[in-house]
Structures are given as C-alpha cells and as structure tokens.
Chains A and B, each alone.
Chain A
Amino acid sequence: MPIALEELEKLIGTSFPGGRYTIEPYRHWLMTDAVGDTPTSSGAANPMEIYHGAMGGLGITLDELFAMVGSSAADGPMFGEAEIEQVLPLRVGDTYDVRGGITGIVRKEGKSGVFDILTFKLELVNEAGEIAGLSTNSFVFPRRD
C-alpha cells in the first residue's frame, strides 16, 4: 500500500533545513558546457544556477527527499514541472542562502495508476538579504503497490 494521503498532506508547510550555495566558477563552467551553452567561469551566471542552488542548498539529499514521501530513486520518480525566476541577476562566485519547503502534495490517478505530485519552493537570498532567485519544482511519484 502506498503511504496514506493524510500522512503526505501533513508535510505541506514543512521547511527544509536549507543551507548556502556558492556558484563555484568551475561548476558553472562544467554545467554550462554540459548543456550546450557557452561555458564561462565569471560574470553573469546561467539562470539554471537557481535550480542548482535550490537543490544544492536544500539541506537534504534527493534520496532523503524521496524518503519523506515514502519513495526512493528505485521507484522511478519523475520531474513534473519546474520554474525558475531570476529576480536579481545571479553572479558567478556569489554565495546565496537557500531556504524554503514543501508547498503542496496531491494524489491523482491516471492510465498508469496512482501517483503523487510533490511541489516545493526555494528562495536564493543574496548577501544583502535580497531574494535573487526563486525555484519551484514538482516531482511525480508513481505508486505501484
């Protein structure tokens, strides 16, 4: 039996431990090079760093996130939707505080069976205390038993 929906719904509003994320120049170079973009190690950062920063500063691993909803990587969780918003330009080399938590969980049923959608939102806050980036993601968890 999949984890009870009532148990999952208790997670809404749960904050992640959070952390800090630095857009390391070498990581920025490798990330941009890996996706066919112009690799750079200085200057304006690729806005995908909002996503990378959010996940890197979550304060828990993906495995731990999956476990919170009674799942694991072996169950085949999938990315549902993702949103990034660059409120202020991100810079390579800058460090951001990351904070946020779970904002929603819904259970649905489709052709392939029951699945749960987990939504969580994180903020990247610069050293001046301003929100520089917002990342909202949803993962889809198939419930096969």
Chain B
Amino acid sequence: MGVAVGDELPPLVIESVSVEAMKTVAALLHDPNPIHFDLNTLQRLGMGDRPVNQGPNNMAYIVAMLSSFAGGPEKVRKLRVRFLGNVLGGDRVTARGVVTDVREADGATVADVDVWLERSIEDVVLKGAATITVG
C-alpha cells in the first residue's frame, strides 16, 4: 500500500445516526444513561427530543474508516480520541483522517493519522490520532 504524508483517507459518511442502534448499544454495554434512549428524560433535562449517541459509537465510526483504509480491523494498532461534542439521533456525520507520518515499527510499516468526526467543517465533535499498519 503506497501511503504518504498528507494523504487523506476516504471519508466514512453516516447519513443518519440511528436511534435504534443507540438502544442496541445501550443494552449491549449495560449503559444506564437515559439520554441515549429515553425521550421523556431528555425533555425533562431540557436536552431536546433527539437521543445523544454514545461516545464509543462516535469513536467506532473512526475505527470503521481506519479499518476500511488499512485493510482490516487487525491493522488498527492504536487510537486516542477526545470527545468534544454530542452527536444526536438523525445527525449526518463524517469520519475523516489525514496521514501525518509513515515509519517503520516492529518490522512493519505504519502510518500515523490525525482523525476527526464532524457534523460540518465548523462542527468537529471528536478528534484524535491513530496508528495503523500499512505494509
């Protein structure tokens, strides 16, 4: 795989963040926070009428982009993210990444990638850095 500094990864677009998926993940993770599934609680808290996506889901969109680019989930070595804002049910979000370094590590070629998840160019809800195996 020919990868160079400055390369942009093919973005991953989630056209509409699924409210039903949030319920599935809440159940699987034993996540009791009602802001992910209970509209009555959201309204009582003054948080509108759209559930808040779980942070790990937002992180997972980045993982999906990295896995697709690198050629498999086993190629994703490391990912560190900071959560900057909420993603709500029905939002359109895009995961993006740019290669910042290509180097040798443990007998393999790896790329360091700046990553982020945005609702728009001005509205980045998560950003971080990853290391993936590229050769």
A-B contact count (CB 8 A): 98
Determine the interface band of chain B, counting residues with CB < 8 A from chain A.
Answer: 35 or more
A120 to chain B, nearest CB (A): 15
Contact yes or no, A79 B29, CB < 8 A: no
Contact yes or no, B78 A86, CB < 8 A: yes
Q: Is the interface of A mostly helix, strand, loop or mixed?
A: mixed
Contact yes or no, A81 B29, CB < 8 A: no
Residues of B within 8 A of A52 (CB): 28-29, 56
B114 to chain A, nearest CB (A): 15
A45 and B60 CA atoms in complex are apart in Å by 13
A81 to chain B, nearest CB (A): 5
Q: Indicate whether B30 reaches chain A with its CB closer than 8 angstroms.
A: yes
Contact yes or no, A48 B12, CB < 8 A: no
Contact yes or no, B30 A62, CB < 8 A: yes
> Which of B2-10, B79-87, B96-104 forms contacts with chain A?
B79-87
Which residue of the partner chain A has the closest CB to B35? Answer: A76
Q: Indicate whether A30 reaches chain B with its CB closer than 8 angstroms.
A: yes
Q: Which residues of A in the span 7-63 have a Cβ within 8 Å of any Cβ on B?
A: 27, 30-31, 33-38, 44-48, 51-52, 55-56, 61-63
Contact yes or no, A73 B34, CB < 8 A: yes
| Number of residues from A at the complex interface, CB < 8 A | 34
Contact with A along B49-77 (1 / 0, CB 8 A): 00000011101110110010000111011
Q: Which residues of A in the span 61-92 have a Cβ within 8 Å of any Cβ on B?
A: 61-63, 73, 76, 78-86, 89-90
A56 and B80 CA atoms in complex are apart in Å by 20
Contact yes or no, A86 B80, CB < 8 A: no
Q: Indicate whether B39 reaches chain A with its CB closer than 8 angstroms.
A: no
A98 and B8 CA atoms in complex are apart in Å by 35
Residues of A within 8 A of B45 (CB): 76
